[in-house]
Amino acid sequence: MKESPIEANDAAVADQPATLGTSRFVRACLRQPVDRTPVWLLRQAGRYMPEYMAVRKHHSLLEICRTPEIAAEVTITAAERLGVDAAIIFADLLLPFTPMGVDFEFLAGEGPVVHTPIRTLEQVRALRTDRVEELSYVAQAIERVARHFAAPRTDGDQLGIIGFCGAPFTLASYMIEGGSSRNYIETKRMMYSDREAWPLLMEKLIGVLTAYAAQQVQAGADVIQIFDSWAGALSVTDYREYCLAPTTELVRRIQALGVPVIYFGVDTASLLPTMRQTGADVIGLDWRIPLSEGWKALGETCAVQGNLDPITLFAPQNVLRARVHEVLDAAAGRPGHIFNLGHGIVPGTPVENVIQTVKWVQEHRAQ
Ligand code: CP3
């Protein structure tokens, strides 16, 4: 088991922080001083990248996810091509559905489709929580990535390795709606009306996700990111009433594995103070809120990740550069900023702009 982030923080205050970790990405997650702002990008391995599309020509998305050699290769290629400070394991949010007994597939142009959506208490009761070891292919991919990046880079920094899972609400929404959704009617219907099914679904997801995260940490993940991509669909009241406690419990259990937790959602400006209450070490900001305002809403006792609009990557270089510096200036070199996008890179994004963005961040020294 790794040293707990809380102890690491205390030690940082008491001793010399400079000796604590060699990864500036992990140090920033713990709000320790760094020589420069670490950077990685949401969906850095994806369809915008020719190297990924070359692999995709021969394998489906799920084949890539379920074959550790290929998932590791895709992860490593993206991190090295961009020169980022952290690699996120190539996987998908929905992978835990299979051992839970929920069949799904990715349909071209439509995204994920769950063939029999979970809508009743009986269906929730039937969800399996005892087969998480079937997901060990993700841990095997992480082991390969960790081995590849075991040696420090030329600047002495250790590349951070990020494992991830979905948050209870966002995963439940895919299970209940049967795919992506606009209004989350069935999800909210269960949440509001079934006082047995919703809490049981949350409990089962927390159990499965904790075990899944534990496999990833065991395999070498330095940090776990929890994606609550669609939490922004909730009012503050509903988030508090139905999602805060399960998410807090998941954060707590993952931190108990000895790694910092990044908690990310989209359209979350009004939810930020409540998301902070989960106790996550880092909160991911989308681009709709200026970084300094978002950080203020969270309080200085947590780190932030973000928050360039991913579509800025289509802008001419002078505009893009100005926006990158706007984010860096808003963070003003305070410990605990990880540069990222406000959401994932979209297909069609010019690769050279992505690489240039990473360079600009890395050239910008903390004051
Ligand atoms: O570098 C990386 O970040 C790639 C690893 C990754 C994937 N999915 C691979 C993937 C990660 C971190 C995810 C997480 C994920 N999966 C999320 C949360 C992140 C977010 O965007 O908020 C969500 C909501 C999913 C579910 C999912 N997977 C959807 C809705 C889709 C379709 C999206 C689309 O644009 O078509 C996917 C497919 C998917 N997962 C792709 C990739 C690279 C693109 C499809 C492909 O390669 O065929």
Percent of the residues in the chain that have a pLDDT greater than 90, as a whole number: 91
The pLDDT of residue 193: 98
pLDDT digits (tens, 9 = 90+) for 270-304: 999 999 999 999 999 999 999 999 999 999 999 99
Residue nearest to atom 45 of ligand 1 (CA): 61
Number of domains in the chain: 1
CATH number of domain containing 172: 3.20.20.210
Mean of the pLDDT values across residues 62-80? 98
Mean pLDDT (the chain) is 94
The pLDDT of residue 21: 60
Cα 20 to middle of ligand 1, angstroms = 33
State which ligand 1 atom lies nearest to the alpha carbon of 344.
Answer: 21
Mean of the pLDDT values across residues 173-179? 98
Mean of the pLDDT values across residues 182-192? 98
Output the pTM of the full model. Answer: 0.94
**Burial group, residue 67, by CB count within 10 angstroms (0-12, 13-18, 19+):** middle
The two three-digit tokens of residue 188, written as one number: 């909210």
Q: Is the pLDDT of residue 108 over 90?
A: no
Residue nearest to atom 23 of ligand 1 (CA): 93
Ligand 1 neighbourhood includes 82 CB (under 6 angstroms):
no
Q: Is the pLDDT of residue 20 over 60?
A: no
State which ligand 1 atom lies nearest to the alpha carbon of 266.
Answer: 22
CB neighbours of residue 73 within 10 Å: 20
What gap in Å lies between CA 181 and CA 313, rounded to an integer?
A: 26
The pLDDT of residue 5: 43
Mean of the pLDDT values across residues 112-137? 98
pLDDT digits (tens, 9 = 90+) for 234-262: 999 999 999 999 999 999 999 999 999 99
Cα 9 to middle of ligand 1, angstroms = 32
Ligand 1 neighbourhood includes 220 CB (under 6 angstroms):
no
Alpha carbon distances (Å) from 325 to 154, 261, 329:
25, 26, 6
Cα 45 to middle of ligand 1, angstroms = 10
Ligand 1 neighbourhood includes 47 CB (under 6 angstroms):
yes
| 8-12, 45-49, 54-58, 92-96: range with lowest mean pLDDT | 8-12
State which ligand 1 atom lies nearest to the alpha carbon of 227.
Answer: 18
Cα 92 to middle of ligand 1, angstroms = 6
Cα 321 to middle of ligand 1, angstroms = 27
pLDDT digits (tens, 9 = 90+) for 134-156: 999 999 999 999 999 999 999 99
Question: Which amino acid is residue 303, in one-letter code?
Answer: A
What strands, in cross-sheet order, belong to the sheet with 337-341?
86-88, 160-166, 223-228, 261-265, 282-284, 303-308, 337-341
Residue nearest to atom 8 of ligand 1 (CA): 92
Ligand 1 neighbourhood includes 177 CB (under 6 angstroms):
no
Ligand 1 neighbourhood includes 81 CB (under 6 angstroms):
no
Residue nearest to atom 43 of ligand 1 (CA): 46
State which ligand 1 atom lies nearest to the alpha carbon of 75.
Answer: 1
Q: Which domain holds residue 229?
A: 5-363
The two three-digit tokens of residue 359, written as one number: 């360079």
